Amino acid sequence: MRRGLTLCVCVLAVAMLLSTGWAKEPTIRIGINAPLTGDIPKVGEGTKFAAQLWLEDIKAAGGITVGKKKHPVELIIEDNESKAESAVKVTTKMITEDDILIMVGPQASKQAVPAAGIANNYKTPMITPWSTNPDSTKDKPYVFRACFLDPFQGPVVANFISKEFKFKKAAVLYDVASDYPKGLAEFFRKAWEDINGKGSVVAYESFTTKDTDFSSQLTKIINSGAQVLFTPQYYNEVALIVQQAHQLGWKKPIVGSDSWGSAETIKLCGKDCYGQFFSTHYAAAGATGETKKFIDRYKAKYGYVPDDVAALTWDAMLLAQQAIQSTGALSGDLKKDRDNVRNALSQVKKFQGITGEMTFAGKNDPSKCAVIVKISDAGEFTYYKSVCP
């Protein structure tokens, strides 16, 4: 017993010595809440990489300068396993345990909505780069997003197709079990029927997450007489849908949404996707300025063109940085600082992100333009036109 006590004291003394250098400067901790495992690990990877790229810049600059002081920055990257329950735990942990100033993520609405509730309860600012579900920010003053919403994107695409092709009959194919495609499909249908009259969406077909065979739905669509197919799906499903449609004899255009905007789309889909259109946040091919710089850096470091998640995460990081800087000074009182950051975020105007200009002006959702991209015959995403609210 006595020897044990002596040992304890010794360990204690050593520990004291080791720990003398603990945190003198108030470090800015930013939480990254990403799905590193689970259903969509690629999204998590893009988030993590973009955030780490941003951190490199900050480290090179020696930290974030707020007022006149330089604060070191630490990223707290946690895995939400693509589960709502886990997202809530991770958010709570980051806020109460890791003392983050602001959180970026989660990405998918399934995790973003519950996490947003937590962040709002703890009065901690949160930016979800990718969640387009209106619920994420609704009635949650502390929660912001870096992307446009489904109610905006749906009409954009409907208008574009009507005007561009003069089509009257459209078909929709979407994942009924995933909130993003389902929401967008609904908004598209509504907008389309507003333009072309009731019943002008001649086929409204769905499948379930992780399905890979869409032949039955596509057969229905092909036989419905639709002139165009709108499918707001993720890149992996896009490849399958487009290829299967062609194999079943579909020769008409297929239009997509921002979820198409991944470097993987073309890799997986190949020639079948050439010539198709989709709406998105940014066009990687032919990008200029900051956007191009980001794409090139990301590509050099990780070996592939960043998708929209990475680009939006990058913007969210910069938004966070700008908001922190525009608070003027950090008091060290986390509660106060978080409030200040939130207020600064809501006042952001004309933020020049790589995914376009963003203005919050007191709201939690940015007003932001969408871009229509055409996939060229070289498989690049080329800028076609911009649609602003």
Answer for the pair 269, 242: CB distance below 8 angstroms, yes or no.
Answer: yes
- Does position 42 interact with other proteins (CB under 8 A)? The reply is yes
Burial tier of 206 (Cβ tally within 10 Å: 0-12, 13-18, 19+): middle
Minimum distance from residue 105 beta carbon to other proteins (Å): 15
Answer for the pair 80, 109: CB distance below 8 angstroms, yes or no.
Answer: no
**Given 194, 247, 301, 333, the residue binding other proteins (CB under 8 A):** 247
* The CA-based dihedral angle spanning residues 351, 352, 357, 358, taken in that order and rounded to the nearest 10 degrees: -20
**Given 50, 103, 113, 370, the residue binding other proteins (CB under 8 A):** 113
**Given 55, 195, 202, 240, the residue binding other proteins (CB under 8 A):** 240
The span of 12-20, 293-301, 312-320, 357-365 binding other proteins (CB under 8 A) equals 12-20
The span of 59-67, 263-271, 333-341, 349-357 binding other proteins (CB under 8 A) equals 263-271
| CA dist., res. 89 & res. 63, Å (int) | 28
Show the beta-strand stretches assigned E in the chain.
Answer: 28-34, 64-66, 69-71, 73-79, 102-104, 126-128, 143-145, 170-175, 201-207, 228-230, 254-256, 277-280, 351-353, 356-358, 370-375, 381-387
Give the footprint of other proteins on residues 16-35 (CB under 8 A): 16, 18-19, 22-23
Give the footprint of other proteins on residues 133-192 (CB under 8 A): 133, 135, 176-179, 182-183
Q: Which residues, in sequence order, are CB contacts of 56 under 8 Å at separation 6+?
A: none
- Does position 352 interact with other proteins (CB under 8 A)? The reply is no
Tokens of 117: 């509730």
Nearer to other proteins, 40 or 102 (CB): 40
The span of 8-16, 278-286, 318-326, 342-350 binding other proteins (CB under 8 A) equals 8-16
- Does position 236 interact with other proteins (CB under 8 A)? The reply is yes
Minimum distance from residue 172 beta carbon to other proteins (Å): 11
Provide the b/e sequence for 177-199 (b: ≥16 CB within 10 Å).
ebbbbbbbbbbbbebbeebbeee
The span of 159-167, 200-208, 281-289, 328-336 binding other proteins (CB under 8 A) equals 200-208
- Does position 379 interact with other proteins (CB under 8 A)? The reply is no
Tokens of 315: 């913007």
The dihedrals phi and psi of 71, each to the nearest 5 degrees, come to: -105, 130
The span of 7-15, 284-292, 309-317, 327-335 binding other proteins (CB under 8 A) equals 7-15
**Given 67, 69, 223, 331, the residue binding other proteins (CB under 8 A):** 223
- Does position 72 interact with other proteins (CB under 8 A)? The reply is no
Tokens of 325: 């800087």
Give the footprint of other proteins on residues 266-325 (CB under 8 A): 267-268, 270, 304
Burial tier of 226 (Cβ tally within 10 Å: 0-12, 13-18, 19+): buried
**Given 196, 219, 325, 376, the residue binding other proteins (CB under 8 A):** 219
Minimum distance from residue 285 beta carbon to other proteins (Å): 20
Minimum distance from residue 149 beta carbon to other proteins (Å): 13
| CA dist., res. 263 & res. 3, Å (int) | 62
